[in-house]
Structure 1
């Protein structure tokens, strides 16, 4: 949620050390200096993290670790998660290839900027019955992974600077529902709004528009409350649009516009939130307010 809101269900470490992995990210040299002249390709995306075996050797090593662990009464997936999160198996967590899927499609290969954060990636691998799991990844997108890094899976590599993990229900509960609002109806409205954003076509969190929208979904509870308030008055959320603000000047400020329509009349209301996406970590430049379309 917002920085001023103490109920942040998705708090994670922010690290700034250079990458210590074998991918070459963060190294000094001519190629690094060439990359430094290009604007970074920033990512703020929501999906689900899983892993792939880079080769059969790592797969067999994990199988042996499973054999040494008491996993009675666990499903295969539960046993795997148990083994990955044991301190003595940290060497294995650094060998796996972590992949973020967006809308069910493999989208990014993930590498932490700080090698110590491999533990966060391992913790994000959950039992399959946790179907409402969510992972929010903030980082910088680079070139596709090399053929040998991820078992032949060639996807853009995102160097992670921050990772949040939660569930849809946990996120909704942390929004901070006003006491005057019906709990069950509020949770339904909030979940519907979140699912609407998660299903936006092409939203892999790489464009300014999608970065602004994804940021609001996990950091700004006011939009959930507004959507619930309008639904209780017989209004529907009909569209979410993101456009470049004319007030930003050299800064990249996006207006995220929520349009509500009456279910009984032709009335339409629009509300917007300005979000500055100039930097890697977006932030609001104003509150949710009535939007007047001058275009």
Structure 2
């Protein structure tokens, strides 16, 4: 079975470098390497790495002086009857407190582990960070970060936390229930069947080992998890036929040439006969924003 692929011209994305000065963003020339301010030698560089990661965003105080300034602002606000989290959100949401937003350390955690420090490529995008702080956080809250990974943060940047800095271009914030409800349900599948099927597939992708959203494989998986509902419809259909989800695999496509294309393969095994069916999609991960190349279709081992 032959698949036709439309190839699109690759546009090099401008990169940005986050300097050790908190919130200082400077433009860099359009290249696939960025200067490394924490490396030895002026000529040190590190290869650009795109990020498409699922996790949680937290705002932290990088310095004691910032925490004290925040406390003074809280002392002048109406806070009666509000929880600490609601007060925190209310203070950072006010336009006159934008200077505090720029001073905060924005940490991205994946599976509870501190993975990245976030900085916007455009200062106007601090609003996206504020929007990720919920007044009433829940266990199913999810944030998606799309950006470029930079150097390891120096110790003074975020109270001693030394993880890669990510200059982001986009952030999506939602909760898992809202994602599942927004997925179109197949006509032949009831809500009672579809909900658990979608939950299981999403959880499987989220729990895959070391998914920091930095490799081509993980970026493709994370993209499909939030942008391609057909995989959830197929999972619900297969569960209805008494098949179990037994594998999610990502391989470099043999059609990759000047562009990086991966195949994401979903395996379903019959619970009675052990017969396995496989379905796959192709995703282009050449640039910062992945996109679908071919729709979900049967996969045959070569």
Q: What TM-score range do you get, normalising by the shorter chain?
A: 0.7 to 0.9
Once the two structures are superposed, the pairs formed by residues 40-119 of structure 1 within 5 Å of their partners are 40-119=48-127
Residue 241 in structure 1 maps to residue 249 in structure 2:
yes
User: What is the match of residue 175 of structure 1?
Assistant: 183
Residue 189 in structure 1 maps to residue 197 in structure 2:
yes
Q: Distance in 1 between matches of 2:278 and 2:85?
A: 45
Contact 2:248-2:267 within 8 A present in 1 as well: yes
Unaligned runs of 5+ in 2: 1-12, 37-44
Question: 1:175 offset after TM fit, Å?
Answer: 1.1
Q: Distance in 1 between matches of 2:32 and 2:187?
A: 53
Which is further off, 253-262 or 69-78? 69-78
Q: Distance in 2 between matches of 1:239 and 1:206?
A: 21
1:135 to 143, 158, 171: 143
Question: 1:183 offset after TM fit, Å?
Answer: 1.2
Question: 1:178 offset after TM fit, Å?
Answer: 3.0
Contact 2:266-2:280 within 8 A present in 1 as well: yes
Residue 206 in structure 1 maps to residue 252 in structure 2:
no
Deviations 1:172-220 (A, max 9, x none): 1111123442113312211121111111110000111101111111110
From the two aligned structures, give the one with the greater strand fraction.
2
Q: Distance in 2 between matches of 1:57 and 1:66?
A: 14
2:227 to 219, 225, 232: 219
1:260 to 245, 268, 274: 268
CA 1:33–1:130: 2 relative to 1, 3 Å: closer
Question: 1:73 offset after TM fit, Å?
Answer: 1.9
Superposition CA RMSD, Å: 2.4
Question: 1:86 offset after TM fit, Å?
Answer: 1.6
Q: Distance in 1 between matches of 2:18 and 2:117?
A: 16
Q: Distance in 1 between matches of 2:137 and 2:118?
A: 23
Unaligned runs of 5+ in 1: 1-14
User: What is the match of residue 146 of structure 1?
Assistant: 154
Q: Distance in 2 between matches of 1:233 and 1:72?
A: 55
Question: 1:244 offset after TM fit, Å?
Answer: 0.4
